[in-house]
Structure formats: C-alpha cells, structure tokens
Amino acid sequence: MLYLVPTPIGNLGDITLRAIEALKAADVIACEDTRHSLHLLNHLEIHKPLVSYHEHNEARRTEELMGRLRTGATVAIITDAGMPGISDPGHRLLRACMAEGLPYTVLPGPSAVLTALVGSGFSAESFFYGGFLPVKSGQRERELTHAAARPETSVFFESPHRLQRTLEACAKLCPGRALCVARELTKQFEEYRIGTAANLLEHYTAHPPKGEIVFLMRALTKDERKELKDKDESAD
C-alpha cells in the first residue's frame, strides 16, 4: 500500500491521528528533505527508514519505491509541508501505482492552498490554483493578467524576495483589485494582509516579508465582468 500523507504546514499540532498511524505502519518513508522530515518524525517518536524523494531524483526513486510496493511493502510519502502532489513530489509515484493497479490511499490533512483561501475571505465557491508564480517577469505578468480576468479567486505560491515585483505588476494590471498575502500560516507570526497592490506594496516595502507566502487575487465581480465585456465590445 502507498500512503500519501499530508504533514503540518507550520504548527506540528496539526498532524492527524491517521497520518501518525500511517507513518508508524510504513516500512519506509519517502521524504522531500529527510533532514526536515526527521524533525517531525522525532517529534512524533516515529523511527523508520527514510529515503529522499524530490524533483531531482523523482524518476529514479519512483522505480525503486515501486519495486518495494510490488513485493508488498508499505510506503508512505511526505513532503516538507502540506499535501504530497500539490507543487511537491508524489504525483509520479501515485500515477505509477495506478498504472500497475497497486493499492494506494490519500489521507486528508493540512493544505496551505485551502487554509489561505478560506482565511482570505475571498469567495471559495470556485477558485484557480496556479502553483508558484513564474520567476521571469514577462511570464509572471501574463499569469497575473489571466488571474485578473478570472471569475474565480486565484491562488498562487510566491517567494518573499519576489513579492514586491508581483505587487508592482498588479499595481499596473489591476490597481483596484483586492489582494491577499497569507504568510507563515499556522505559525507564530501568521498573517493575512488584504488590500490593493499599492497598499500592500507600501507595507512590504517598509516591512520586507519573510517566510512562506500564499498570494491570492479576488475574483471579478459580476459588475466588473460586465464592465470588462462592455469595454471589449466597444474596442471592437
């Protein structure tokens, strides 16, 4: 059996009872960063063989883990934080199990995407998740342009040292749109800061952000969609 086990995104108290049981039952635990995961496992007093499983060795390690699964071993996969397979390793191994008909299960648990979405106060009826915003400025602006036109809330991961450039781009593309910077979720200095790009840019220029960031853009309202449609039609 393959277990995809979500781990806390900050507060270690968010580990679930099922996650603990799965990790204790595993013959081997595949970790994105064994040193990082060892801290959690020691906290839980779980001592199991660990193997690294990350973007640089995922192809090779998948076949090794599949070999164990074929012989009846129990494998658990965890990442540094949150749900495996969401912008983290896990998808390739899951697909390999599906292709060979090997049993697997996905445990529910912590997710930075859903935590930030609910905490932002933006509509959660439908949303778009785009992973990490592109590093290159042109690609980032194209992605933000698409986000500004969506009728759904847009959710991205962003790094602290690129946040200022993202806010500068939003100030040009959608100056009046409400944005949310959800930072250090579930940790001591958790923050949900909501405002326009200019508001947020002023704050984070004076207080450079640290830690992990989820960046959200409010969806277009019906009136805004109508206004955009009318503007496009008049341009034609």
Q: Which amino acid is at 22?
A: A
Of 106, 129, 155, which residue sits at a domain end? Answer: 106
| Structural domain count of the chain | 2
Q: Give yes or no: residues 117 and 38 share one domain.
A: no
Q: Give yes or no: residues 121 and 99 share one domain.
A: no
Contact predicate 104/74, CB 8 Å? no
Any domain includes 209: yes
d(CA 86, CA 40) in angstroms, rounded, equals: 20
pLDDT at 53: 94
User: How large is the average pLDDT for residues 215-228?
Assistant: 85
Any domain includes 234: no
Q: Which amino acid is at 110?
A: P
Q: What 3-state DSSP class applies to 132?
A: strand
pLDDT beyond 80 at 140: yes
Residue 190's domain comprises 112-226
Q: Give yes or no: residues 14 and 72 share one domain.
A: yes
Q: Give yes or no: residues 220 and 175 share one domain.
A: yes
d(CA 187, CA 148) in angstroms, rounded, equals: 29
Q: Give yes or no: residues 138 and 40 share one domain.
A: no
Q: Which CATH number does the domain housing residue 167 bear?
A: 3.30.950.10
Q: Which CATH number does the domain housing residue 76 bear?
A: 3.40.1010.10
pLDDT at 236: 60
Tens digit of each residue's pLDDT (9 = 90 or more) over 109-122? 999 999 999 999 99
Tens digit of each residue's pLDDT (9 = 90 or more) over 81-131? 999 988 888 999 999 999 999 999 999 999 999 999 999 999 999 999 999
User: How large is the average pLDDT for residues 31-54?
Assistant: 95
Contact predicate 89/75, CB 8 Å? no
Beta strands in the chain (DSSP E): 2-4, 28-31, 50-52, 75-78, 104-106, 127-132, 153-158, 179-183, 191-195, 213-217
* CB-based burial label for 71 (10 Å; 0-12, 13-18, 19+): exposed
* CB-based burial label for 190 (10 Å; 0-12, 13-18, 19+): middle
Q: Give yes or no: residues 116 and 102 share one domain.
A: no
Contact predicate 113/66, CB 8 Å? no
The pair of three-digit structure tokens given for residue 23, joined into one six-digit string: 């990790």
User: How large is the average pLDDT for residues 9-35?
Assistant: 96
| Percent of the chain's residues with pLDDT above 70 | 96
Any domain includes 167: yes
pLDDT at 235: 64
| CB contact set of 180 (below 8 Å; sequence gap of 6+) | 116, 120, 121, 122, 192, 193, 194, 215, 216, 217, 218
Q: Give yes or no: residues 9 and 88 share one domain.
A: yes
